[in-house]
Amino acid sequence: MTTAAAYAELISKLKRAHVLGTVNGLLGWDEQVNLPPDSADLRAEQLALMAELQHAAASNPCVGELLTLLEGRPGELSTDQQVVLKYSRRDFDRVTKLPPEFVSEKARHSSKAFHAWAECKAKSDFAGYAPFIEQHIKLAKQEAAYLGCTGAPYDYMIDRHDPGMTAAVIERLFGELKQSLVPLMREIVSSPVKARTGIFRGFPVEQQRTFLHSVTERIGFNYRRGRIDVSLHPFCEGSGADIRMTTHFDEHNPLNSLFSAIHETGHGLYEQGTRSDHQGTPLGQAVGMAVHESQSRLWENQVARSRPFWRFFEPRFRETFSAQLGAVSSDELYLAVNAVRPTLIRVDADEVTYNLHIILRFEIEKRLFAGTLAVADLPAAWNALAQELLGLTPASDREGVLQDVHWSGGMFGYFPSYCLGNMMAAQFWYQAQDDLPGLDDDFARGDFSRLLGWLRRNIHEQGRRHDTRELVKVVTGEPLNPKHLLRYLSERYLPLYRG
């Protein structure tokens, strides 16, 4: 077989697995957005069948043979083709090196652990949940061993979400961030200036929907290749030509639905910006979780919480909600957009304190995997860190160690991506400003196209050409550095809260 023919055959097999994956994704989206209440059993069967078909396509032995053949002819492959080969091998190994019995054992355990978590969270009963975490850590170590990462299972878990990232690198970055972020947060929180978030009452959902649609379209989301609906928890699903985003509405919290939608739009813009000629191959895919989160956070925070953004959108917001906003001044509105208030609950956290929630979880995961923290001692360790970082101690495990669903699914090494994404967003933001003078004026005119074009060229269209750390270096000329996030948070929040 010629190299060109083998490569073409590989691409066609990858695309087949990808298309099956998109069908699966669509069924999952529909389940959360549209599914009639008594149709869940059939949907579970449909999802299981699609997952089986997708797995069979992705683990097709022909893919392995083609990879081996092409790996033997590196001199005949272009740089792009070598990228495709490298990541296709990585993906193929991850779907084929785990024995099917292990995969189903993990799925079964996750399902049981999820129900145990929901029950134990309701009762604030950590002891009942502990054996499930214990077992999940064992399974994670076993999984790492199957992939040849026996010595560093936590690194393996991290690398699954953010290729190229390690626990040691994260530890250094988070350590530097924590040192300055804790005093910065304390200064903001002790300020006499307080945002009044309770001033928003009675914002009709239909008008909120219209407004957020116009905002997300204006910043660049293409509604001919995607849509936004409502689900319990906002998410973004799909790739390339069909992106499904969701938000949720609260009549008394219009900023929440708006910022959720802008966040998901950031994810959607990344996916819409991947190259259409590479759909289904590593060159048409996102790098990983942290880079994805950098895109959602950059739009949500750096852009949509800025003065220039509101210079353009405030008159439109007031026009839509004139009755509700009559007594709210511009400054009050802008302060509410940038409210900071430490809370014990991660999903309710603002962008300053959010990072501390993540540092806490990373610290715990690191110790669990190193064996220096026993699962039984988790609540005590959690509460001590919450006090140290947030200045708050949970009254019960429900608002402490039991609050997140992630560990019930064995999702370790996933939390750090949120904070790494925040760091990256700030670093990309300053680079974009250097490269594109006058961005503030663009935003004040409601023009986001230069920023989006920059993100497209530098990040979206690169696919998985660079791993997480390389990408940051290629785009900004320096390795990931928390000082940019600290600078951004200081510049955004200190002028507001120093009064």
Measured from the CB atom, the residue of 216 and 296 that comes closer to Zn ion is 296
Which residues are CB-contacts of 486 (< 8 A; sequence separation ≥ 6)? 177, 180, 181, 184
Does position 295 interact with Zn ion (CB under 5 A)? The reply is no
Cα angle: 212, vertex 404, 227; to 5 degrees: 25
Smallest gap from Cβ 400 to Zn ion, in A, equals 23
Does position 296 interact with Zn ion (CB under 5 A)? The reply is yes
Q: How many residues bind Zn ion (CB under 5 A)?
A: 1
Measured from the CB atom, the residue of 296 and 338 that comes closer to Zn ion is 296
Measured from the CB atom, the residue of 354 and 448 that comes closer to Zn ion is 354
Rounded Cα gap, residues 85 and 163, in angstroms? 15
Rounded Cα gap, residues 171 and 177, in angstroms? 10
Smallest gap from Cβ 286 to Zn ion, in A, equals 12
Rounded Cα gap, residues 310 and 258, in angstroms? 13
CB 407 within 8 A of CB 415: no
Identify which of 396, 449, 426, 58 has the alpha carbon closest to the alpha carbon of residue 222: 449
- DSSP conformation class of 243: E
Smallest gap from Cβ 245 to Zn ion, in A, equals 11
Among 293-301, 332-340, 459-467, 487-495, the segment contacting Zn ion (CB under 5 A): 293-301
Among 240-248, 274-282, 289-297, 309-317, the segment contacting Zn ion (CB under 5 A): 289-297
Task: Tell me how crowded residue 174 is: count the other CB atoms within 10 A of its CB.
Answer: 24
Smallest gap from Cβ 214 to Zn ion, in A, equals 22
Rounded Cα gap, residues 289 and 261, in angstroms? 18
Measured from the CB atom, the residue of 279 and 296 that comes closer to Zn ion is 296
Measured from the CB atom, the residue of 291 and 452 that comes closer to Zn ion is 291
Does position 265 interact with Zn ion (CB under 5 A)? The reply is no
Among 46-54, 295-303, 399-407, 446-454, the segment contacting Zn ion (CB under 5 A): 295-303
CB burial of 232-260 (b: ≥16 within 10 Å; e: otherwise) equals eebbbbbbbebbbbbbebeeebbbbbbbb
Measured from the CB atom, the residue of 400 and 416 that comes closer to Zn ion is 416
Among 147-155, 296-304, 470-478, 486-494, the segment contacting Zn ion (CB under 5 A): 296-304
Q: How many residues are listed for the chain in this entry?
A: 499
Q: 237, 264, 271, 300: which is the annotated catalytic residue?
A: 264
Among 290-298, 316-324, 342-350, 353-361, the segment contacting Zn ion (CB under 5 A): 290-298
Is 264 one of the annotated active-site residues of the chain?
yes
Smallest gap from Cβ 179 to Zn ion, in A, equals 26
Q: Is the Cα torsion angle 409, 414, 418, 419 positive or negative in sign?
A: positive
Rounded Cα gap, residues 80 and 284, in angstroms? 11
Smallest gap from Cβ 198 to Zn ion, in A, equals 26
Smallest gap from Cβ 32 to Zn ion, in A, equals 15
Measured from the CB atom, the residue of 296 and 353 that comes closer to Zn ion is 296
Among 24-32, 224-232, 292-300, 358-366, the segment contacting Zn ion (CB under 5 A): 292-300
Smallest gap from Cβ 293 to Zn ion, in A, equals 5
Measured from the CB atom, the residue of 153 and 288 that comes closer to Zn ion is 288
Rounded Cα gap, residues 76 and 69, in angstroms? 12
* Alpha-carbon distances, residue 18 vs 48, 67, 285, 424 (angstroms): 16, 17, 10, 28
Smallest gap from Cβ 98 to Zn ion, in A, equals 27
Residue 243 phi, psi (nearest 5): -110, 125
Measured from the CB atom, the residue of 84 and 452 that comes closer to Zn ion is 452
φ/ψ bin of 222: left (φ > 0), alpha (ψ from -120 to 50), beta (otherwise)? beta
Among 139-147, 174-182, 291-299, 482-490, the segment contacting Zn ion (CB under 5 A): 291-299
Which residue has the CB atom at the shortest distance from Zn ion? 296
Rounded Cα gap, residues 74 and 492, in angstroms? 49
Residues that bind Zn ion (CB under 5 A): 296
- Active centre residues (catalytic): 264
